[in-house]
Amino acid sequence: MAYLIDSDVLIGAYRRDTRSRHWLRAHVDEGQAVSLISAGEMYEGAEHASNPQLELHAIREFLSSFAPVGLDDEVMQRFARERASLRRQGRMIADLNLLIAATALVNNLTLVTRNTRHFERIPGLEIQVLDERRPPPGSDE
């Protein structure tokens, strides 16, 4: 497994964003995982749909192509250490983002995201940025 796909990229791909879908297809053989935190964020979106059960089913099917990565004691300890460090620096980020980052760090995965503003605050976190300003390589955009 090489990549942990962040919620913003997943949601983009689910909503048929060209850049997100292209990146996921181009890197499918390298291994792609999803934090259960990101899955939860997508499930929350289903609750706002006109037919939540149908949307939840579609999201589960979409997520089935990714390896799920859960939270365990090691991830929670890393979360606590990073959160304490960010708090001391006065540079806090949302807990859900920090849980995703801790998951990537513990599992030695590169985080694929558009959210550099928060994630680049975390030392040692490998980040692959999806740049929305440029068309994906090989696309006709």
pTM of the model: 0.91
Cα–Cα distance between 129 and 135 in angstroms, integer? 13
Return the pLDDT at 139: 47
CATH of the domain at 96: 3.40.50.1010
Asked if the structure places residue 134 within a domain, the reply is no
73: in domain: yes
Question: pLDDT tens across 55-103, in order?
Answer: 999 999 999 999 999 999 999 999 999 999 999 999 999 999 999 999 9
137 within some domain: no
Would 140 be classed as within a structural domain?
no
Domain residue limits at 115 = 3-129
Residue 27, exposed/middle/buried by CB under 10 A (0-12, 13-18, 19+)?
middle
79 phi/psi in degrees, rounded to 5: -55, -50
The span from the CA of 79 to the CA of 71, in Å, is 10
Q: Does residue 141 belong to any structural domain of this protein?
A: no
- State residue 117 phi and psi, 5-degree precision: -55, -40
Report how many domains make up the chain. 1
Q: Is 52 domain-assigned?
A: yes
Q: What single DSSP character describes residue 134? A: S
pLDDT digits (tens, 9 = 90+) for 24-50: 999 999 999 999 999 999 999 999 999
